[in-house]
Amino acid sequence: MPGFQTMQETLSVIAEWLQGWWYYVGRIFVSFVAIALITIIVSEYLFSARLFSRLLNALASILRIARLPIDFSTPLLFGVFDSRAEHSLISSMVKECRVRENEVIAYNLVSMPITAPRLVIQYVAPVVISTLRLTLGITYVCLSLASTLIAFIMGLALSRITIKSTSHQQEGKATQIVNSFANRQRSSLRNGIRKALRYVRSVSPRFVMILTTIFVLLKLGCFEYLKSFLMLIKNMLPISPAILTVAATYAVTPIASYQLAGSMLLKGLLTVKEMLVALFLGRIFFGIVSEYPRHSFPFYVSIYPVKLAAKLTATLLLYTIVSSIVMITLITLLYP
């Protein structure tokens, strides 16, 4: 019967699409969930206040090298696991005139290699490793972590130039506050599991939706048309249009850019070098159009004086631009 045969063909096509969807979307999503749960739970335990309270003296030494007040050791410890608590403490220190504006700006740069790794490991690593595969994902994560050392160098230079002397008071108070907080954290493992489940629950719908969209585009052959178009205009632009495509996507939503970059790499639209360059170029775009004007500055201006909030936002944006350019240069030199 013609109608029955048509229905069979339709069901066969649907089954093929569902099988392809599960292989593409399901496989990546399952790996994302597994990696997210593992990295967030483990890092939450490793970066717990109980562990970092033992590093107070080491952190205080870093602050002394940068000529920063020892009072910053307390917000630095809090900043490892809660940036809002960190800035709330610093805001109260500013209001009490215990620290100066240039010290706050230098601190935010110097502390970057200490406070940023947890965020990168918990929120960036699961997405990039699941979408770019293990080797490339870890490479991008390592480069992102390495870029925070540039912030430390910039902060050290700023403090050496602008800060002549500092006060090393209230170290005992810092220790007391940190130990008190650590005692209230009864179970870092339990907190890690809760945070991991919250993160997976909040990110999963958008993650699956973007993956499904890319899968449909792949099935419809849109990437083949895109490849032909990019080859057509390749010689008309000073930079690869494929790089611009990923970078522009990053400016809108980083998660989509990771998934798009992985798909374009799989289809041969991007080389590994171009993919890494595109992601760091996108980080500049994202910082200029979204992260700092839409998120960071409104938060800073809500707790700091407007002048300090503007200076801090501009400084961190400058760091993002400089560090990304350095990473792009490094990638260009390392990859053929």
Q: Where are the domains of the chain?
A: 23-175, 209-336
Question: Is the whole model's pTM more than 0.85, yes or no?
Answer: no
The pLDDT of residue 121 is above 60:
yes
Residue 171 CA to residue 52 CA, distance in Å, equals 15
Alpha helices (runs of H) in 234-271, residue ranges in sequence order: 241-252, 254-266
Q: What is the mean pLDDT of residues 204-209?
A: 78
pLDDT value of residue 215: 72
The pLDDT of residue 262 is above 70:
yes
Could you tell me which residue, 294 or 141, shows the higher pLDDT?
141
Nearest to 131 by CA among 232, 254, 304, 310: 254
The pLDDT of residue 283 is above 90:
yes
Residue 94 CA to residue 106 CA, distance in Å, equals 14
CB-based contacts of 215-220 (< 8 A; 24+ apart in sequence): 215/20, 215/21, 215/24, 215/25, 218/24, 218/263, 218/267, 219/17, 219/20
* Region for 170 from its dihedrals, namely left if φ exceeds 0, alpha if ψ lies in -120 to 50, beta otherwise: left
With bands split at pLDDT 50, 70 and 90, how would you rate the model's confidence at 310? very high
Could you tell me which residue, 188 or 168, shows the higher pLDDT?
188
The pLDDT of residue 232 is above 90:
no
Least confident of 177-181, 204-208, 236-240: 177-181
Q: Which of 38-52, 98-112, 215-229 shows the highest mean pLDDT?
A: 98-112
Contacts of 38 (CB under 8 A, 6+ apart): none
The pLDDT of residue 170 is above 60:
no
The pLDDT of residue 143 is above 90:
yes
Contacts of 118 (CB under 8 A, 6+ apart): 43, 47, 80, 81
Q: What is the mean pLDDT of residues 44-60?
A: 61
Q: Do residues 324 and 281 lie in contact, with contact meaning Cβ atoms separated by under 8 Å? A: yes
Q: How far is CA 155 from CA 79, 164, 323, in A?
A: 17, 14, 13
pLDDT value of residue 2: 53
Could you tell me which residue, 8 or 42, shows the higher pLDDT?
42
Calculate what percentage of the chain has a pLDDT beyond 90. Answer: 24
With bands split at pLDDT 50, 70 and 90, how would you rate the model's confidence at 76? confident
Residue 39 CA to residue 45 CA, distance in Å, equals 10
Amino acid in position 298: P
pLDDT value of residue 71: 80
